Amino acid sequence: MGFSYKIILISLLFLYSCDDFFLSDKDECGVIGGDNSSCMDECGVVNGNGVPEGYCDCEGNVLGCDGECGSGQEYDVCGVCNGNAVSEYSCDCEDPGQIRDCLGECGGLAVIDQCGICNGDNSLCTGCMISGSDNFSANNIIANNELCFVDYTSSIQTIFDNHCTGCHAGGAVNLESYFNTINSDIIQIGDSSNSRLWQVIEGDNPSMPPSGPLNNSDVRKIALWIHFGAQESN
């Protein structure tokens, strides 16, 4: 092998080794001895895409309606930047005093009634509030006690059957039926305190029934039945 050939071979080996050395010292941008700055975006991300679309900086802020990045100012429903022409409850840009009613109608008149019903008439919570009445409801918050009733068929006949008709199934005081009870001259309709039926069952020592006093609920129900007109059925 000649001297010149050896020199060429050594030079090629040297060049290959240097190129391999410099290649191993490239930054992420492919620049030998670089610091990544040549391919770093404005947010400091190597090979990044910069500020994301729809944002105005690298922190995720958006451009306000005032042209300032991250100001937080927005157009109100009337198209005014940072305006308050229409409040949370208003609905008319020309007349901010207009509000939506409970049905969602701008300037409407519908309101929530006392029962909590939009555009209601309070009927769902109006009714009898006299405890012991057949139609008493603890859910009623508006009293209309003219609606109260206790009727013979639903309530009174059961009391009589359980406690009275064993003795009063005939004779002057017959409690077997509504007709017989009303015609036994023991009830002053609408006036329980002057009705002989109520007088013998109320108080601390009632004379009837002989097996023992009725419970307070039954005594009250009979009094209310007489008070409400001693109806056979509602």
- Per-residue confidence (pLDDT) for residue 21, from 0 to 100: 46
209: number of Cβ within 10 Å = 17
- Would you kindly state where each structural domain of the chain is located, as residue ranges? 59-109, 112-147, 152-227
Closest CA to 144 of 178, 115, 171, 110: 115
Please tell me the number of Cα atoms within 13 Å of 30 on its side-chain side: 2
Dist. CA 217–CA 177, nearest whole Å: 21
- Per-residue confidence (pLDDT) for residue 97, from 0 to 100: 77
Q: What is the mean pLDDT of the chain?
A: 86
Per-residue pLDDT tens for 99-145?
889 998 988 999 999 999 999 999 999 999 999 899 999 999 999 98
- Per-residue confidence (pLDDT) for residue 225, from 0 to 100: 94
Per-residue pLDDT tens for 153-193?
999 999 999 999 999 998 889 999 999 999 999 999 999 99
Dist. CA 204–CA 198, nearest whole Å: 13
Dist. CA 130–CA 119, nearest whole Å: 27
Higher pLDDT, 22 or 8: 8
